[in-house]
């Protein structure tokens, strides 16, 4: 009788085990099945020229190369039909392969054009090593909020790379509605990106890009930094290198919203690619940098917050 009772208990436990196994497999499959993905935001294709500036003597040559970025921001093969030009052909000529030849003293803008896409660089041509060849800006910070400032230092060198002292720079902002500059001190006026240049003896520096951003720190099962910035006229959510959240829940998505405990009224941006580390997410051009207050990490399939960052009002 005792043995019969033991088998009854064992048989009952097997049924429980089979039922448990079935529920576990059902949950496992459903937890690993994501809901429909959001289509990634495409951005304008663009070119970059390298180096952004250089100097040569009369009769010398300088080579420039172009890098092409597709509508997802990825580096791809550079088109073969790029057109190279010099803004002042009396200072430097330009070949179709991106090689410039110095003809007379001065500074000219080198341009690479592919269809309607353009990129520029600076070329300075000197007659002797006493002339200013390069002006370089060193910013204390390239990203500031509306309540912060940045300081800019500049250095001047001749064609041999030797520093020239005792020079004064004239500072210029490409957009004074966003960023103003006076004596190398940068003040944020509004959100966005502006280029700051310094000019010495008629020679202009390559621009220093200053971005006025929003930023926050994740809490509520998330940690690390996040910022909202405009780069190359594209709004981006950028999770910092220190970002981290739980790796357990499936289907984590990134949202912008106005509440810190739900995604009601929020806009879904993309799936979270990793539970930790830096990630950049492009945002639709229909959304402004000031439109939402919170960056939210949310489990779309089952609900639940796994990180909230307050960007401030």
Question: Whole-angstrom Cα distance, residue 223 to residue 213?
Answer: 19
Cis before 51 (ω within 30): yes
Mean pLDDT value across residues 229-240: 94
Question: Whole-angstrom Cα distance, residue 130 to residue 127?
Answer: 9
**Phi, psi at 22, each rounded to 5°:** -65, -45
pLDDT of residue 42: 85
Paired tokens of 136: 């370089």
Burial of 136 (0-12, 13-18, 19+ CB in 10 A): middle
pLDDT of residue 41: 84
- 104 band by pLDDT with thresholds 50, 70 and 90: very high
Percent of the chain with pLDDT over 90: 82
Kindly tell me if the per-residue pLDDT of 205 is higher than 50.
yes
Mean pLDDT value across residues 133-139: 97
pLDDT of residue 232: 86
Distances, alpha carbon 91 to alpha carbons 57, 87, 101, 134, in Å: 11, 9, 8, 16
pLDDT of residue 250: 87
- CA torsion 231-294-287-71 (nearest 10°) is 40
Kindly tell me if the per-residue pLDDT of 291 is higher than 60.
yes
Kindly tell me if the per-residue pLDDT of 48 is higher than 80.
yes
Alpha helices in 223-304 (DSSP H): none
What structural domains does the chain harbor? 46-126 (2.60.40.1080), 134-212 (2.60.40.1080), 214-310 (2.60.40)
pLDDT of residue 28: 42
pLDDT of residue 73: 87
- 36 band by pLDDT with thresholds 50, 70 and 90: confident
- Strands (E) across 242-302 are located at 244-245, 252-257, 267-271, 279-282, 294-299
Percent composition of the chain: helix, strand, coil (DSSP 3-state, to 5):
10, 45, 45
pLDDT of residue 16: 52
Kindly tell me if the per-residue pLDDT of 20 is higher than 50.
no
Question: Whole-angstrom Cα distance, residue 82 to residue 41?
Answer: 26
Mean pLDDT value across residues 148-173: 96
pLDDT of residue 257: 98
CB atoms within 10 A of CB 155: 17
pLDDT of residue 188: 97
Paired tokens of 232: 């190359």
Lowest mean pLDDT among 17-21, 53-57, 160-164, 203-207: 17-21
Question: Whole-angstrom Cα distance, residue 241 to residue 225?
Answer: 8
* 3-state SS, residue 309: strand
Contact status, residue 135 vs residue 52, Cβ threshold 8 Å: no
């Amino acid at each position: 009788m005792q043995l019969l009772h033991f088998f009854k208990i064992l048989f009952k436990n097997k049924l429980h085990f089979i039922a448990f196994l079935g529920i576990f497999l059902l949950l496992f499959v459903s937890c690993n099945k994501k809901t429909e993905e959001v289509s990634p935001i495409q951005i304008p294709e663009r070119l970059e020229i390298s180096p952004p500036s250089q100097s040569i003597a009369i009769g010398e040559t300088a080579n420039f190369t172009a890098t092409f970025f597709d509508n997802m921001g990825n580096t791809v093969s550079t088109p073969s039909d790029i057109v190279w030009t010099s803004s002042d052909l009396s200072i430097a000529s330009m070949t179709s392969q991106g090689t410039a030849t110095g003809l007379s003293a001065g500074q000219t803008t080198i341009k690479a054009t592919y269809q309607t896409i353009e990129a520029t660089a600076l070329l300075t041509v000197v007659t002797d090593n006493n002339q200013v060849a390069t002006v370089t800006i060193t910013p204390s910070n390239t990203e500031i909020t509306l309540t912060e400032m940045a300081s800019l230092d500049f250095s001047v060198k001749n064609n041999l790379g030797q520093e020239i002292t005792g020079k004064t720079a004239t500072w210029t902002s490409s957009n004074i509605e966003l960023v103003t500059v006076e004596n190398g001190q940068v003040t944020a006026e509004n959100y966005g990106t502006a280029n700051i240049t310094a000019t010495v003896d008629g020679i202009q520096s390559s621009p220093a890009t200053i971005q006025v951003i929003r930023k926050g720190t994740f809490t509520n099962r998330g940690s690390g930094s996040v910022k909202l910035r405009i780069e190359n006229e594209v709004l981006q959510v950028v999770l910092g290198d220190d970002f981290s959240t739980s790796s357990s829940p499936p289907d984590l998505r990134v949202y912008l919203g106005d509440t810190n405990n739900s995604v009601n009224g929020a806009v879904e941006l993309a799936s979270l690619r990793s539970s930790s580390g830096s990630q950049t997410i492009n945002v639709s051009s229909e959304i402004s940098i000031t439109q939402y207050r919170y960056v939210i990490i949310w489990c779309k399939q089952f609900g639940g917050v796994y990180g909230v960052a307050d960007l401030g009002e």
